[in-house]
Amino acid sequence: MESQTLLTQDFKAVCALSAIPVLGARVVRSSAGEIALFRTADDQVFALLDRCPHKGGPLSQGIVHDRSVTCPLHAWKIDLASGTAQAPDHGCTRRFAVRVHGDTVHLSLTAEQPE
């Protein structure tokens, strides 16, 4: 029970769900760097560091499809849930835990996001 309370306190409201375009992204600044919040067609939200594991491209400017984003620089496909590049490419960008309550998106810089 106590750990649940700590986990809940770790999440901070960062924006409205409606502020993230469907099949798009919104960037929030944090102490961990710029974080891209992605919204899928079925309103799932994922958070990744806004840096492609290839050469640091801005993933927030990529194309969201299903549960992946295609980097705008060299078209690597990054899985939104895990942050990993799709084979044959290799690499991983940092992911963050997100919760959506009503129309509010909450982000944690420390909790692990289940895949």
Please identify which residue in 20, 35, 48, 57 interacts with ligand FES, judged by CB under 6 A.
57
User: Is the preceding omega at residue 58 within 30 degrees of 0, hence cis?
Assistant: no
The b/e string for 94-112 (b: 16+ C-beta within 10 A; e otherwise) is ebbbbbeeeeebbbbbebe
Please identify which residue in 15, 27, 63, 73 interacts with ligand FES, judged by CB under 6 A.
73
Select 69 or 107, whichever has its Cβ closest to ligand FES.
69
Please identify which residue in 7, 23, 30, 54 interacts with ligand FES, judged by CB under 6 A.
54
Select 77 or 99, whichever has its Cβ closest to ligand FES.
77
Could you tell me which stretch among 25-33, 37-45, 71-79, 93-101 binds ligand FES (CB under 6 A)? 71-79
The b/e string for 80-90 (b: 16+ C-beta within 10 A; e otherwise) is beebbbeeebe
With binding defined as CB under 6 A, does residue 38 bind ligand FES? Answer: no
Three-state DSSP class for residue 14:
strand
With binding defined as CB under 6 A, does residue 46 bind ligand FES? Answer: no
With binding defined as CB under 6 A, does residue 94 bind ligand FES? Answer: no
Cα 46 to Cα 1, 2, 23, 57: the distances in Å are: 26, 26, 11, 18
Q: Rule CB under 6 A: which residues touch ligand FES?
A: 52, 54-57, 71, 73-74, 76
